[in-house]
Amino acid sequence: MVLDPEVTRRKLVLGSQNAITGWYDVSYVESTIEMLIYDRSTTTFSLPVGAYVRLDALGCCADPVDIGDEIKTKDGRYYEIKAIQERWEMDNFIRRDCDLTLLPLHE
């Protein structure tokens, strides 16, 4: 588990389409959010109720995030958000559980 909840969110932004390749220009807009990250080795007793680590890590946050965004931790690890599941209790929003994949060879 990452003890410092402040991480850098790198929001994926697609630019104009390249006329030759057809690929869109990719850039990222950075902002700081609070997210608790639980590694795959975390025991089930340490996880919030209803949470399960499916990929490399699980990120729990209340801030808005999107699939494809990158998360950078203070120790320099990069994760990509693969799936998001919102947790609600009746009409009250609790958190977002984000399935994260570790990017060992970033850029």
Domain ranges of the chain: 6-102
Dihedral (C-alpha) 12, 15, 18, 19: value to the nearest 10 degrees?
140
* Per-residue pLDDT of the chain in tens (107 residues, 90 and over written 9): 555 688 999 998 888 988 888 899 888 899 999 998 888 766 655 666 666 666 788 888 989 999 989 999 988 889 999 999 888 888 999 888 899 998 887 76
Q: Which residues contact 84 (CB under 8 A, 6 or more apart)?
A: 65, 66, 67, 96, 97, 98, 99
What pairs with residue 98 in β-bridges?
59, 84
Q: Are 82 and 67 in contact (CB under 8 A)?
A: yes
* Pair 71, 9: CB distance under 8 Å: yes
Yes or no: domain 6-102 corresponds to CATH 1.10.3470: no
